[in-house]
Amino acid sequence: MLMVRTLLLAAIAASPALVAGEVKFDAPQKLLGGGKVIDVEQPGYAAPSLADMDGDGVPDLLVGQFNKGKIGVYKGTRSKEGKLSFGERTWLQAEGADAVIPGVW
C-alpha cells in the first residue's frame, strides 16, 4: 500500500498537467450590452451573474450596482451560431418599481 501511495504521489508531482490539465484562455474582451461597453459604478462591487430571468431558455446577465443597490438586467439572445449577446440595460423590477437591495454600510 505504501508503494502505491508513493508511486501516485510521484506521478502527481512529476506532471501537474495530469492533475489539472492544460488550460488556455482567450484574450480579455470588454462585454457589450446593447452595443455599448458594460460599465459598473464605483467602487465596482458588481458581482455579475447569469440567470434566465424571463424563462426563454437564454441566460440574461445581471450586474449589481453598489450605488443605490440596483441590479442591471441585460437580456440575453443567441445568434443562429449559438453566440450569446446582451441587450441594453434595464433595472430589475419588483412590483412595478426598480428593485433596491439595501447596502450594509
- Average pLDDT per consecutive 10 residues, the chain (105 residues; last block may be shorter): 48 54 86 88 78 96 84 94 94 92 68
Torsion angle of alpha carbons 89, 91, 92, 94, nearest 10°?
-150
Q: Which residues pair with 73 in a beta bridge?
A: 62, 90
Give me the residue label for grid cell 447569469. 50
C-alpha cell at 12: 502527481
C-alpha cell at 29: 474582451
Measured distance CA(96)–CA(73) in Å, rounded: 15
Measured distance CA(51)–CA(40) in Å, rounded: 19
C-alpha cell at 45: 462591487
> What is residue 62's predicted lDDT score, i.e. its pLDDT?
94
> What is residue 12's predicted lDDT score, i.e. its pLDDT?
53
> What is residue 3's predicted lDDT score, i.e. its pLDDT?
47
> What is residue 64's predicted lDDT score, i.e. its pLDDT?
86
